[in-house]
Amino acid sequence: MTAPAIEARGLGKDFGSIRALDKLDLAVHEGEFFGCLGPNGAGKTTTVHLLATLLKPTRGTARVAGYDVVRDDLRTRRSIGLVFQETTLDRDLTVEENLHFAARLWSLPGRLAAPRIAELLGQFGLLERRRDPVRALSGGMRRALDVARGILHQPRVLFLDEPTAGLDPRARRSLWELIRQLRRASGLTVFLTTHYVEEAEPCDRVAVIDGGRLVALGTPAELKRAAAVNSLEEVFLARTGHPLAEPSAA
């Protein structure tokens, strides 16, 4: 096995007196589909932002794609793609313009960017909408474009922070299909956060997080076996003593 794609050691973050993340230890392997399951406010987004160099850890260290997230923040950011909870697209620009903007931000030379963008537009079913402003797209299409933007520079690790929030069931299914194809085609490491149990089921391994603490880690099958229950939902209940709150309108 090669060096882990993501490695956190005692990683923690406080916001003032609030301990958003206590001390996280985990290693995500190259090519793994890793899920981070927990209710809202558990520390999932904080974890992603720490690993993506957008926050500075209060304690501990982390390496992503082999780079220290504090000392090598630029190289870390070059190696990762990040799809935020809320869209980061410029709604006034067209689909194509958004991708070209991202390509320039990631310093992709024009001769590489143009074919790559054409490829992604085809792959994500956006070819016919490429000259439409993003504001004219459906939520599902915007999300697809967010993901396309996230992998434009062919990152080694893709972070998906609650990617299906606000999507209807059909858009969700097509998004998961896209992610599946992507993983199969490129061996991309995917770090997913979610509060939907069913979205964590297909993951290779799942970290269950609650109140800023890692409460369980393993394959979905292992977790269920260890807790002697049948669903990840019950794993959560068994480990924390309270149910994984039904998602509010996110």
Partner 1 sequence: MRPVFGIVVRELVRFWRQRGRVLASLARPFVWLIFAGAGFATVFTGAGEIDYRRYMAPGLLGMVVMFGSLLAALSTVTDRDAGVLRMVLVAPIRRSTVALGKILGATLLGTTQAVAVGVILLSLVQLWPGPQSLLLALAGVVLSSLAMGALGLVLAASIRSIENFAGVMNFVVFPMLFLSGALYPVRRLGSALQALVYLNPLAYGVDLLKHALLGGWRGAGYGGELPLALDIAALVAFAVAGLLGGAALLAREGGVTRTAFRGGA
Question: What does the binding site for partner 1 look like in residue numbers (CB under 8 A)?
Answer: 15, 18, 20-21, 40-47, 49, 52, 54-56, 74-75, 77-78, 82, 84-93, 97, 100-109, 149
Q: Which residue's CB is nearer to partner 1, number 103 or number 178? A: 103
Q: How far is the CB of 119 from partner 1 (least distance, A)?
A: 20
Q: How far is the CB of 221 from partner 1 (least distance, A)?
A: 28
Q: Which residue's CB is nearer to partner 1, number 77 or number 213? A: 77
Q: Which residue's CB is nearer to partner 1, number 32 or number 162? A: 162
Residue-wise DSSP of the chain: --S-SEEEEEEEEEETTEEEEEEEEEEE-TT-EEEEE--TTSSHHHHHHHHTTSS--SEEEEEETTEETTTTHHHHHHHEEEE-SS----TTSBHHHHHHHHHHHTT--HHHHHHHHHHHHHHTT-GGGTTSBGGGS-HHHHHHHHHHHHHTT--SEEEEESTTTT--HHHHHHHHHHHHHHHHHH--EEEEEES-HHHHTTSSEEEEEETTEEEEEE-HHHHHHHHT-SSHHHHHHHHHSS--PPPP--
Q: Which residue's CB is nearer to partner 1, number 51 or number 227? A: 51
Q: How far is the CB of 228 from partner 1 (least distance, A)?
A: 31
Q: Which residue's CB is nearer to partner 1, number 5 or number 134? A: 134
Q: How far is the CB of 195 from partner 1 (least distance, A)?
A: 10
Q: How far is the CB of 222 from partner 1 (least distance, A)?
A: 26
